[in-house]
Each structure stands twice: as C-alpha cells, then as structure tokens.
Amino acid sequence: MPAGLNRALLTVAGAVVAIVLAIAISSVAIIAAGASPIDAFAAFFDFGETARSVSNGIAAFLNRAVPLFIAGLAVAVGFRMNLFNIGVEGQYRIAAICAAFVGSTFTAPKPIQIAVIIVVAAVVGGAYALIPAIMKVTRGVNEVISTIMLNYIAISLSSYLVRGPFTGERAAGQLTTTTPQLPESAMFPNLNFVFDWFGLLPPTRGGGVWGFLLVAVVLGLVIWVVLERTRFGFNVKASGLNGPAAFASGVNPKKMVIAAMVLSGAIAGLIGLPEILGDKGAFNSNFTAGLGFLGIAVALLGRNKPVGIAIAALLFAFLDRAQGALQIADVPSSVITIIQGVIVLLVVIANEVTNRIALRLEEQRAARQLGTNKPVEVAA
C-alpha cells in the first residue's frame, strides 16, 4: 500500500476512534447530569417539526460554520509558522467594528461597498496582528503572552468605540448600542434560493443563509494554494520547523514571522463580517464573542488543513445549533462544550498516535527496501 494512502487511512481511523470515544465519554457526563444520552443525541438531529423550522435550523447551522471556518483558517496560518496566534479573538473584534463604522460613512455600488468593507476589516486585523509580530522579532516577546494581552485591549477598545465615537442612533426600545446602520448596498445577498432547488421553504430567521459563505469557500481555496502550492507557503513551513536551517537556505525567518502573523490577522479580521453583512448590518455591544478561541479548537481538529478545518467547523456548528433542542429535551446545554472539548482532546491524541504508527511503518518499509528487516532507530 502506498505510504500516502496508508497515512491517510490511519488518520481517518484515528479520527473515527476518537469520535466514538468522545461519544462514550460524553454519554457518561450526560448520565451524571441526570439526563438520557439517547434523548441528548437525538436532539442534535432535531431541526424542528415544521418545514420552516427545518429551513431555519439548516440556515443557523451553515451560518455558524462560516465564521468558525474563517477563524480556523486564521489560526492555522499561524500554526504553520509554529506561531500560536491566540489574538484572533481581539483581531476580529477590532476589525469588525472598524469595518462596520467605515462602511456606514459612505454609499457606493454594492460590489464596491462590500469590497471596501472587506479590505478595511482585513487591513485592521492584519495591522493589529503586526504588533505582536514586531514584538516577537525585535524583543523576543512570546506571541502567546502578547496576543492574550492584546485581546483584552481590543475587547475593551471595541466596547468603548461602540458606546462612544462610533455610536449610531438607537431605535426605540433597543437595549444594545450599535454603530450606524450600514446602507442597503453594503448588505451581502443571501443564498436562500438554494432551498428552492431542494423544494424547501426559504429560512426567515437571521437573514437566511449568509452569502458570505461563498467568500469563505474562495478564501479556503486561496489559503490552500498559498500554503501548499507556493514558495511563500514552503518558506513559512520551513521557517516554523527550523528557523536556522531556513536562514541558511536564504529564507529570513523574522520576515516570515511578520508575514505569517499579518496574514493570520488579516484573515481573522473577516470573521465578524458574515454576521454584519448578512444579518445585523452593524456592530453592536452584544456582538458574537468567542469565535477566535473556538477557531483554535477548529484548527487543531482540522489539522491545519482547509478541508479538515471545514469539516471541523461544520461539526462544531452542528453541535452549537442543538442548544435549543437540548434544553427542550431537558439536557444541559453545557453538554455541547463537554463534547467539543473531548473530541478535540481525543483527536489531538489520536493524531499523535497515528503519526507515530505511520512513521514506524515507513521506517520498516525503508528498511526492507535496503535489504534488512531491522528498522532504523529514529529519535521521536
């Protein structure tokens, strides 16, 4: 069997075993909470009793997956450079409020208006990620520490801006403060027409299926090409694996650190746009939080590959969507967090085990090709 196919099968087998074990462990937690595992897992597949509620459930599932996928891509770019960009949370929050405010200050044809908002979000996110990158290459500051601190600054700054300089008019009875409402030309067209293809009623909640889904797909393809099929992607990976060796071959690791962090931040800046351009039309004081931290888990689960990240984002979105159904079934919604955490932990362990097994099999194959049955000992 070819080595590549063998490794792929081991990876799939490890993921399946991890998910099965996660279900078993989660069942124990559900029983400890006084609920039925059967009712809990049935609730995950309960999209509603009416055709309209089913459509709304599918739309909520897809809409949740889009920002998780973008967040996973942002974290994965940093991981490729062996950088732990925990600052994705702050980067997308500060980028979202800046993009929403800038987009509300002018009106232009829809393609131009949306393009400007996307560019502003990417630039702000990349610029905010540049701060820890410069601190790392000039002063040796660990990016984990600097990005955690910058998260708090970004969250507090965005809260100040939405209640201060960037505040828009508050509607009667509105409890949250928001930036000025975006013009209609800034709103991304939805994808509700897809439901007509399958004979389903279009969703009516949350703006339907956000059209930013298409941008996320294109972004995933671009990141895959950049990281897997370009010299830049090779230099990023080489610098992350062995900086001195990369430097000896003519690659400047410090420049790669800055480039990888800025690219990661630019992608992170887009995380909040699906919600703003697809539904809310503004950044508000109750804006969705925690997507940056979830992106770390999604990237780990997807092994930093765009396809794997897409699958992980869909899995997390599928679990998150079931919160309402779990409450109806008298199952604590915290079960979702337990399942997500257990799956990530077990998949990471399974990846390490399958990698070691695949490496040992490749060593044995190489030894046989050299005419000996004794594998060459290689340090782990």
Q: How do residues 211-249 score in pLDDT, each as one tens digit?
A: 999 999 999 999 999 999 999 999 999 998 888 888 898
Residue 146 near residue 78, CB atoms below 8 Å: no
- Of the listed ranges 181-195, 258-272, 335-349, the least confidently predicted one is 335-349
Residue 254 near residue 247, CB atoms below 8 Å: no
Residue 236 near residue 225, CB atoms below 8 Å: no
The rounded distance, in Å, linking the Cα atoms of 91 and 76 is 15
Check residue 320 and report its DSSP letter: H
Mean of pLDDT over the chain: 89
Tokens of 75: 């974290």
Is the pLDDT at 13 greater than 50? The verdict is: yes
Distance set, CA 335 to CA 52, 319, 320 (Å): 27, 10, 10
pLDDT: which is higher, 374 or 232: 232
Residue 291 near residue 89, CB atoms below 8 Å: yes
Q: What are the φ/ψ torsions at residue 49 (nearest 5 degrees)?
A: -95, -20
C-alpha closest to that of 317 among 87, 77, 53, 47: 47
Q: What are the beta bridge partners of residue 284?
A: 178
Distance set, CA 51 to CA 44, 61, 234 (Å): 17, 15, 48
| Residue entry with tokens 């650190």 | 257
Is the pLDDT at 127 greater than 50? The verdict is: yes
Average the pLDDT over 169-190 and give the result: 88
| Residue entry with tokens 């063998």 | 6
C-alpha closest to that of 211 among 126, 277, 140: 277
Residue 335 near residue 326, CB atoms below 8 Å: yes
- 3-state class (DSSP) for residue 284: strand
Residue 207 near residue 279, CB atoms below 8 Å: yes
Tens of pLDDT, residue by residue over 52-105, are 888 999 999 999 999 999 999 999 999 999 999 999 999 999 999 999 999 999
Residue 61 near residue 321, CB atoms below 8 Å: yes
C-alpha closest to that of 91 among 177, 160, 155, 163: 155
Residue 270 near residue 118, CB atoms below 8 Å: yes
Supply the pTM of this predicted model. 0.91
Q: How confident is the model at residue 379 (pLDDT cuts 50, 70, 90)?
A: very low
Q: How confident is the model at residue 119 (pLDDT cuts 50, 70, 90)?
A: very high
> How many CB atoms neighbour CB 378 within 10 A?
9
Is the pLDDT at 181 greater than 70? The verdict is: yes
- Of the listed ranges 146-160, 284-298, 326-340, the least confidently predicted one is 326-340
Average the pLDDT over 195-213 and give the result: 88
- Of the listed ranges 166-170, 351-355, 376-380, the least confidently predicted one is 376-380
Q: What are the φ/ψ torsions at residue 284 (nearest 5 degrees)?
A: -120, 170
Q: Say what the pLDDT of residue 380 is.
A: 43
The rounded distance, in Å, linking the Cα atoms of 62 and 45 is 14
Tens of pLDDT, residue by residue over 262-287, are 999 999 999 999 999 999 999 999 99
pLDDT > 70 fraction of the chain, expressed in percent and rounded: 95
Is the pLDDT at 27 greater than 50? The verdict is: yes
